[in-house]
Amino acid sequence: MKAALPKNEALRVSVLHRYAILDTLAEQSYDDVVMLAAEICNVPIALVSLIDSDRQWFKAKHGLCVNEAPRELAFCAHAILQPEQPLIVPDALADIRFRDNPLVLGDPGIRFYAGAPLLSPSGEALGTVCVIDTQPRELSERQVQALQALARQVISLLEMRSLVAELDMLSTTDGLTGLRNRRAFDQKLIVEHQRSARSKQPFSLLLMDVDNFKTYNDAFGHQAGDDVLAEVARIVQYTVRSYDMAARYGGEEFAVILPDTDKSGALDLAERLRHAVERAEWMNRKITISIGVASLSPGQTVPALIKEADRALYTAKEQGRNRVVDADVD
């Protein structure tokens, strides 16, 4: 019997996705939870099970090899319908909801199931810590309480994961523009350099500067200057592709890392950025940007690539600004 959808299904799935836990690699802390669950309940199978919109995915598993199962077959899809208490199924063959389930009639031959719902701090049931046996059985009250305690520990792990991700984002995000900061840029550039060396795929770099920014600040004040930087950043973020990284490089300088992009593609994107800024409506006076473009050459180091892009940017400003310059032809 297929489980009904919770009344808060859309919110529940949204909360689950915000944790960014689905399809992540195995982690010892979650593996420890299922090991303890199996030991405490004396069962061969234990899972940390998360119910996505159309599947049941296992963050941790003990005694089972598969990583996920269809949601319509999941016992845990029933468990999240009563989040205030564990779902206990002493004998699946005697339960009308499960007696025809392929997981009961076939592999792994489920007879006993107990699942303690994973409740987010705001009350959404995201999945369960569950234990399974191939023989009918019961759990003691202390075993049920232990299962619930382990479910609370999983939620604590998810919350800690979310907090660490948030702190990491704050530490790598520029407060004024919302773009990645120089630290994040430096890290990403090294990663893309290594990936390009392995895959032999091209990647390119744009360095750009807001033209005559100092005179703008002097004329209209630092708040107006900050507004310009924030708007330029918005235009850059809107124009680049989802897999590119735009960053505030420093002061009025911005940078964009372009994975899998050759010189031709980089120049095309740079021109689109330049035109987008030039055509935008500005409060006090027209704003333009100059852009230097460099693409990685075989054997080239990261510092050398940055130096090339910076040299091209300098040439763009020397030649009158509001232009794109290719490092190879400047």
CATH number at residue 278: 3.30.70.270
Give Dmax (Cα) for the chain: 83
Asked, for residue 228, whether it belongs to a domain, the answer is yes
H/E stretch holding 62 reads strand 55-62
Angstrom distances, CA of residue 78 to CA of 2, 115, 145, 155: 8, 9, 19, 19
Same domain, 244 and 304: yes
Same domain, 129 and 159: yes
Asked, for residue 76, whether it belongs to a domain, the answer is yes
C-alpha to C-alpha distance for 169 and 107, rounded to whole angstroms: 43
The DSSP symbol for 187 reads H
Asked, for residue 302, whether it belongs to a domain, the answer is yes
Position 299, amino acid:
G
Residue 328 binned pLDDT confidence (cut-offs 50, 70, 90): confident
Catalytic residue among 252, 271, 278, 308: 252
Residue 118 neighbours by CB under 8 Å, 6+ apart: 48, 50, 125, 126, 127, 128, 129, 151, 154, 155, 158
User: For the whole prediction, is pTM greater than 0.85?
Assistant: no
| Percentage of the residues of the chain whose pLDDT score is greater than 70 | 100
- Residue-level pLDDT at 176: 94
Determine whether 263 is exposed, middle or buried from the number of CB atoms within 10 Å of its CB (0-12, 13-18, 19+): middle
- Give per-residue pLDDT as tens, 57-88: 999 999 999 999 999 999 999 999 999 999 99
Going by C-alpha positions, the residue among 55, 60, 50, 61 that lies closest to residue 20 is 50
Is 68 one of the annotated active-site residues of the chain? Answer: no
Same domain, 33 and 61: yes
Q: Is the pLDDT of residue 168 over 90?
A: no
Residue 197 binned pLDDT confidence (cut-offs 50, 70, 90): confident
Residue 104 binned pLDDT confidence (cut-offs 50, 70, 90): very high
- Residue-level pLDDT at 330: 55
Mean per-residue pLDDT of the chain = 95
Domain count, the chain: 2
Asked, for residue 159, whether it belongs to a domain, the answer is yes
- Residue-level pLDDT at 99: 95
Q: Where are the alpha helices (DSSP H) in 172-257?
A: 182-199, 213-220, 222-239
C-alpha to C-alpha distance for 22 and 116, rounded to whole angstroms: 19
- Residue-level pLDDT at 165: 86
The DSSP symbol for 196 reads H
- Give per-residue pLDDT as tens, 30-61: 999 999 999 999 999 999 999 999 999 999 99
Residue 24 binned pLDDT confidence (cut-offs 50, 70, 90): very high
Residue 300 binned pLDDT confidence (cut-offs 50, 70, 90): very high
Residue 96 binned pLDDT confidence (cut-offs 50, 70, 90): very high
3-state secondary structure of 176: coil
Q: Is cis: bond before 70, omega within 30 of 0?
A: no
CATH number at residue 124: 3.30.450.40
pLDDT, average across residues 134-158 = 97
CB 275 within 8 A of CB 292: no
Same domain, 85 and 220: no
**Residues β-bridged to residue 82:** none
For residue 295, give its domain range.
182-326
Same domain, 135 and 29: yes
For the chain, report the end-to-end CA distance as a whole number of angstroms.
Answer: 70
Same domain, 213 and 322: yes
Same domain, 209 and 249: yes
